[in-house]
Amino acid sequence: MMARSGAGRGAGRKRRRGAGGGGNMAAPGPRLRLEAALGFLLVLAGAQALVPSHRLDARDLARLRAVLERPFTDVRSAYYSIVGLSSLGARVADEKAACKFIKSHVDSSSVESLFYAAQSMQVLSACEVTISNETRELLLAAVSEDSSVTQIFHAVGALSGFGLPLASQEALSALTARLSKEESVLATIQALETASYLSQQADLSSIVEEIEDLVARLDDLGGVYLQFEEGIETTALFVAAAYKLSDHVGTEPAIKEDQVIQLMNAIFSKKNFETLSEAFSVARAAGALSQNRFHVPIVIVPDGPAAVSHHQPLLRLQVTNVMSQLLTQVSVKLDQAKSVSSKATVLQQLPFTLSGDFFELNFMNVKPASGYYDFSISVDGDKRFIANKVELKVKVSTEVGITNVDLSTVDKDQSIAPKTTRVAYPAKAKGSFTADSHQNFALSFQLIDVNSGAELIPHQTFVRLHNQKTGQEVVFVAEPDSKNVYKFELDTSERKTEFDSASGTYTLYLIIGDATLENPILWNVADVVITFPEEDAPSTVQSKNLFVPKPEIQHLFREPEKRPPTVVSNTFTALVLSPLLLLLILWIKIGANISNFSFAPSTIVFHLGHAAMLGLMYVYWTQLNMFQTLKYLAILGGITFLAGNRMLAQKAVKRIAAEQSSRLAKYRTLR
């Protein structure tokens, strides 16, 4: 769905702020142009520059504060709540109780606990504590190359929070040494925040460069969101830390405007905060983005839907920062307003006037035609503003009036002149009109803009005929001709099928509607008696019910092959066994016998093995598969072979002995 690609836009590439949108398209290089084109395609319709899609509105803020105002469970949750609320510009309900809580719950042997306590106490007014020497030694010892980045961060933060002296240069060298070993995103973010506690005399540029590296590690989701794969909490902490450090050092962070907006979209897309740390990170990010020295994203919010009309001619806007705090010390200007349909510029270079909390512009002064307009609005007043040029789609509504409504019956042969009746809205025509086989019914009217007198072509101009008896209704579309006069003609022979040939009195309604009309119209114009030529209509017209069960489909199983009757096949089975009988008879006649059967063990084993093999064939037929049969056959065959070999060898010896003795006997008789 969303294309994920590392935001590998190099630091050297400069992108111009577009004037009136579309400026981002002029980026050098074909690949960058492709990226820009893709980003453009995925951005909200009607906006050509990247526009913030998410911010903390009043409800989100309330939810965030509710999470942050939960009672403290330990020093860490106290820190999150106190510092988080202060980022949002709010204070904890009972500061004295908070101070007492922290003092009683801090663990002087843990650097982390001391950090939370120190930072919270710095925010709370009139909350101080004396630090023992041991605690100070503990904190100073933690600032070394042997501690992790997190420990250095907590130690430096605690020392700074308690107002204790700190050797910035040593801390910095420990930090850089440690950072080269730990590459995780969270460690780098903590390093950024640590550097913001160090003295400005130290050379913090190496840490400041980490901001750019971190930006390169962000994931671009569809050109709209930018976040770390570790999640939104990490992204929010990064934003807070980057701007804190940049403010401290005084250099603009290496984050481009579009990237700031994308980060904003990602962070403030989270509306439900499961953990206190998530809420804390989003609050810090909101505070950072609304009050830093370099980049302040602003959001232009129209009051209700962006629509004007004669009753409401003013377009009202509010300008807020990410925390929905109103900015009134700004100047809002309309760069140009273009009609969407005709692309003509209606208004240019007009400032909005501030009235209370809203910036207003009276658009109806230029008497625009109804429809949609693209407004290009820019907000100035502070160099830090970003996303200060937006495109807004404004709807201008009007009221429609129907004039020159003529109802007539036209003779098909055109032998009689058509009778025309004029009706005025909202009256109903007196009498009824007929439409049958030799008369057509015709309706014509014009639609005008009541305020300007111009002709209107709304989206919906329907003529609805409702059968009073059966409840049938048929709807037709009235089409305008070249002079924008709407015409509708009912020919009974042509429209038979729509009416199901049901004759009777029909009520004629005219339906006019459009998104830009404030007064859609449903007008009962007249009654029309329609008579259809042949009475082939069903006596009771039943509404076509499409949702009845359909006839059941019976599955046709594959028909089994034709087999002969059981009698025939049984007869044949008996017939096939009869040659066996013949064989036995012949054998008896020939005199075959088993009188020569010797009961030697090999003979018995051979015959048993052979019988077993035949039995195996039967079992194979009924149960086994080829592999099992081969296995058993190998065993049985082996035994049978060995025994048979022995038996046949003995027989051969006997035969040869018999032959030799008969030859000897023959030889002897010859002599």
Partner 1 sequence: MRGAAAAAAAAMAGSVRAVARRFLSEYGGGTAGRLKALDAFLLYVLLTGALQFGYCLGVGTFPFNSFLSGFISAVGSFILGVCLRIQINPQNKGEFQGISPERAFADFLFANTILHLVVINFVG
- Residues of this chain that interact with partner 1 (CB under 8 A) are 561-564, 568-569, 572, 575-576, 579-580, 582-583, 586-587, 590-592, 610, 613, 617, 620-621, 626, 629, 633, 637, 644-645, 648-649, 651-652, 655
What is d(CA 507, CA 598) in angstroms, rounded to the nearest whole number? 115
Closest to partner 1 by CB, 542 or 593 = 593
| Residues in Cβ contact with 431 at an 8 Å cutoff, skipping those fewer than 6 apart | 421
Closest to partner 1 by CB, 548 or 626 = 626
Q: Least Å distance between CB 558 and partner 1?
A: 14
Long-range contacts: 252-255, Cβ < 8 Å, 24+? Answer: 252/294, 252/295, 253/211, 253/294, 253/295, 254/11, 254/211, 254/212, 254/215, 255/211, 255/215, 255/295
SS3 145: coil
Positive or negative, the CA dihedral 305, 308, 309, 310 is positive
What is d(CA 665, CA 671) in angstroms, rounded to the nearest whole number? 10
Closest to partner 1 by CB, 250 or 591 = 591
Tokens of 406: 């003529």
What is d(CA 514, CA 516) in angstroms, rounded to the nearest whole number? 5
Q: Least Å distance between CB 583 and partner 1?
A: 4
| C-alpha triplet 267, 273, 277: angle, nearest 5° | 85
Tokens of 17: 């702020």
SS3 225: strand
Transcribe 356-397 into DSSP letters: TTEEEEEGGGG-PPSEEEEEEEEEES-TTEES-EEEEEEEE-
Closest to partner 1 by CB, 192 or 612 = 612
Q: Least Å distance between CB 587 and partner 1?
A: 6
Q: Least Å distance between CB 590 and partner 1?
A: 5
Closest to partner 1 by CB, 483 or 563 = 563
Tokens of 432: 């009824």
Tokens of 483: 């002079």
Q: Least Å distance between CB 664 and partner 1?
A: 18
Residue whose tokens read 């980026």: 27
Asked whether 28 and 36 are in contact (CB, 8 A), the reply is no
| Alpha-carbon distances of 8 from 23, 274, 482, rounded to whole Å | 20, 32, 56
| Phi (first) and psi of residue 444, to 5 degrees | -140, 145
Q: Least Å distance between CB 670 and partner 1?
A: 21
Closest to partner 1 by CB, 93 or 649 = 649
Q: Least Å distance between CB 496 and partner 1?
A: 58
| Phi (first) and psi of residue 528, to 5 degrees | -125, 125
Q: Least Å distance between CB 599 and partner 1?
A: 19
Residue whose tokens read 């009498």: 431
Transcribe 58-101 into DSSP letters: HHHHHHHHHHHTSPP-SHHHHHHHHHHHHHTT---S-HHHHHHH
In sequence order, the β-bridge partners of residue 350 are 334
Closest to partner 1 by CB, 44 or 630 = 630
| Phi (first) and psi of residue 439, to 5 degrees | -135, 135
In sequence order, the β-bridge partners of residue 220 are 5, 226
Closest to partner 1 by CB, 183 or 561 = 561
Closest to partner 1 by CB, 37 or 635 = 635
| Phi (first) and psi of residue 660, to 5 degrees | -65, -45
Report the DSSP pairing between strands 345-351 and 331-339: antiparallel
Closest to partner 1 by CB, 556 or 626 = 626
Q: Least Å distance between CB 669 and partner 1?
A: 21
Closest to partner 1 by CB, 548 or 594 = 594
Q: Least Å distance between CB 553 and partner 1?
A: 29
Q: Is 407 left (phi over 0), alpha (psi -120 to 50) or beta?
A: beta
Q: Least Å distance between CB 605 and partner 1?
A: 14
Closest to partner 1 by CB, 457 or 630 = 630
